[in-house]
Amino acid sequence: MSKIATNAKGADPAGDLAFEEALRKLEAIVEGMEAEDLPLETLLARFEEGSKLARICQAKLSEAELKVQQLEKNAAGALTLKPLSVSDDPQ
């Protein structure tokens, strides 16, 4: 399993992963951790990588949820994306 690399500025390129790809990588890490007898250092590295992937998946799901919440039917019954206003933000 390859580790998520960072570029020279320290930015995480994994943020550009598609949800499905991040989820596949996360599932592979979990399966590997469950199936293999690995040293603690390797387990910690995989846990860290999995945590990053889980955050990416959660962020992408949150973005999708926001878009779904913004969808509304217009008078003709077609779905349209309405702009999010500050008053729409539940507090």
Per-residue pLDDT tens listing for the chain (91 residues):
444 443 334 445 555 889 999 999 999 999 999 998 999 999 999 999 999 999 999 999 999 988 887 777 666 667 776 766 655 555 4
Q: Which residues form the domain of 72? A: 13-88
Q: The domain spanning residue 34 has which CATH number?
A: 1.10.287.1040
Question: Residue 1: inside a domain, yes or no?
Answer: no
pTM, two decimals, is 0.63
3 inside domain: no
What does the pLDDT read at residue 65? 86
Does 65 fall in a domain?
A: yes
- Residue 39 maps to a domain: yes
Look up residue 70 and give its two tokens. Answer: 């913004």
* pLDDT for the residue numbered 15: 58
Q: Structural domain tally of the chain?
A: 1
Helix, strand, coil % in the chain, rounded to nearest 5: 60, 5, 35
